[in-house]
């Protein structure tokens, strides 16, 4: 099945065990790094179990990518997004009834709609998939309250659950298990390490010079993240003026334009994507050589997920975090602003990223330790370990 539908010759670490567990009908939670191949972990079982596989997913672009991928492999699938008219809906329902297996993608906010209930009525649901499952936890980033309604599906359909995420501290993991009401789940946790990514942090005053010199060093495709929409526009313009092909992407652009920009970048028409955190989830471009943050991310989880978009092809890549005095000040202000609850939350999320940025410790150790993973230091592939090596006496 792997070679005939997917053209892959072997499984990646974890895939075989996860697939076996899910096919067997056991509730399963899979924690695999970004690009680790989580989709396969539910697509193969969905096909094997047959019937309708419901896939709950937070983002439209993500769903469309997956439906296209499945369709290209001759597998029936549909993403319920935007306005769906009655004609299309009944067409989908009849395809569903006549297919041995069918993948239905939707955001959890849609579960409570008449359209969804009509569509799914009388169908056999073989598997319920919760992608980007960390969205269920208010301990993590990207919290989506509607994820909490997913567990109700169990009563109606009795199908096993398969939850997947690339971002899981132990706390988020416990939250997923609890809020999905998983039953004696098997939890598969694989190393989140991405050995080919070189991590570094730079304290900067002249961000422009720093960015340009990185783009000069790393000639390949790049993503630059900034925390504000205005910042993104300004950076994209700066780069264009410096003769570097770039585009801006953020939540303030209309959907059609965002699609257009994203496609241009995916098709290698643009080298540098300058974006807010609205960009990237589910983007599958393997040859990104540099992910550079000019603004401090909201949390260490977000940072690692965004940085993880570098080097999915396994070749050397860089993740660089620039810390300016202003960015630091803005984050520190967050720790003191807002209600008591907001401050607690800010502390929980912001402290770890500040610590990551400011401590002279192996970066990989810092971030993986935060996810509860122990690694051997020096890692040999971050700025701190690099300095250690240079300072070590020669034999």
Q: How far apart are CA 234 and CA 127, in angstroms?
A: 45
Name residues whose C-beta falls within 8 Å of residue 326's C-beta, 6 or more positions apart in sequence. none
Does 312 sit near Mg ion (CB under 5 A)? no
Does 189 sit near ligand ADP (CB under 6 A)? no
- The two tokens of residue 200 are 């570094």
Q: Which one of ligand ADP, Mg ion, none interacts with residue 384, CB within 5 to 8 A by kind?
A: none
Stretch that binds Mg ion, among 38-46, 208-216, 262-270, 315-323 (CB under 5 A): 38-46
22, 32, 33, 38: which one binds Mg ion (CB under 5 A): 38
Question: What's the min distance (Å) between Cβ of 284 and ligand ADP?
Answer: 5
Q: How far apart are CA 292 and CA 235, in angstroms?
A: 12
How far apart are the two ends of the chain, measured CA to CA in Å?
Answer: 54
Q: Which one of ligand ADP, Mg ion, none interacts with residue 5, CB within 5 to 8 A by kind?
A: none
Does 11 sit near ligand ADP (CB under 6 A)? yes
Question: What's the min distance (Å) between Cβ of 39 and Mg ion?
Answer: 6
Binding mask 142-181 for ligand ADP (x = CB under 6 A): ------------------------x---------------
H or E stretch covering 342:
helix 340-358
- Beta bridge partners, 198, equal 318
Pick out residues in 32-71 that bind ligand ADP (CB under 6 A).
32, 34-40
Pick out residues in 281-320 that bind ligand ADP (CB under 6 A).
284
Half-sphere exposure of 374 (CA within 13 A, CB side): 0
Pick out residues in 74-113 that bind ligand ADP (CB under 6 A).
none
Which residue is associated with the tokens 């309604």?
149
In terms of Cβ atoms closer than 10 Å to its own Cβ (0-12, 13-18, 19+), residue 211 is buried
Q: Where are the alpha helices (DSSP H) in 99-168?
A: 114-120, 153-157
The residue ranges that bind Mg ion (CB under 5 A) are 38
Contact positions vs ligand ADP (CB under 6 A): 8, 11-12, 15, 32, 34-40, 166, 284
């Amino acid at each position: 099945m792997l070679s005939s539908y997917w053209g892959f010759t072997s499984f990646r670490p974890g895939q075989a065990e996860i697939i076996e567990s899910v096919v067997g009908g056991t509730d399963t939670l899979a924690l695999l790094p970004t690009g680790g191949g989580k989709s396969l972990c539910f697509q193969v079982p969905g096909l094997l179990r047959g019937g309708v596989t419901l896939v709950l997913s937070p983002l439209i672009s993500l769903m469309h990518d997956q439906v296209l991928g499945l369709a290209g492999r001759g597998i029936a699938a549909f993403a319920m997004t935007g306005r769906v008219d009655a004609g299309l809906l009944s067409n989908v329902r009849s395809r569903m009834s006549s297919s041995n297996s069918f993948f239905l993608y939707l955001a959890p906010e849609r579960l409570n709609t008449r359209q969804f209930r009509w569509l799914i009525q009388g169908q056999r649901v073989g598997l319920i998939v919760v992608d980007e499952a960390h969205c269920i936890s208010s301990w993590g980033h990207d919290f989506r309250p509607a994820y909490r309604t997913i567990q109700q599906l169990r009563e109606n359909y009795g199908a096993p659950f398969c939850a997947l995420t690339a971002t899981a501290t132990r706390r988020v993991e416990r939250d997923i298990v609890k809020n999905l009401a998983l039953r004696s789940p098997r939890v598969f946790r694989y190393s989140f390490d991405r050995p080919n990514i070189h991590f570094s942090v730079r304290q900067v005053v002249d961000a422009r010079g720093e960015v340009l010199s990185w783009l000069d060093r790393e000639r390949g495709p790049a993503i630059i993240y900034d925390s504000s929409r205005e910042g993104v526009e300004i950076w994209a313009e700066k780069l264009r003026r410096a003769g570097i092909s770039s585009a801006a992407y953020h939540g303030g652009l209309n959907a059609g334009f965002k699609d257009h920009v994203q496609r241009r970048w995916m098709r290698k028409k643009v080298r540098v994507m300058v974006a807010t955190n609205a960009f990237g989830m589910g983007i599958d471009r393997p040859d990104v050589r540099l992910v550079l943050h000019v603004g401090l991310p909201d949390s260490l989880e977000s940072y690692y997920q965004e940085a993880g978009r570098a080097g999915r092809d396994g070749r050397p890549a860089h993740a660089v975090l620039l810390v300016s005095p202003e960015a630091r000040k803005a984050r520190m202000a967050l720790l003191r602003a807002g209600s008591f609850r907001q401050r607690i939350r800010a502390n929980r999320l912001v402290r770890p990223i500040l610590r990551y940025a400011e401590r002279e410790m192996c970066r990989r150790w810092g971030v993986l330790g935060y996810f509860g993973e122990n690694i051997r230091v020096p890692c040999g592939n971050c700025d701190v370990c690099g300095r250690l090596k240079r300072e070590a006496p020669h034999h």
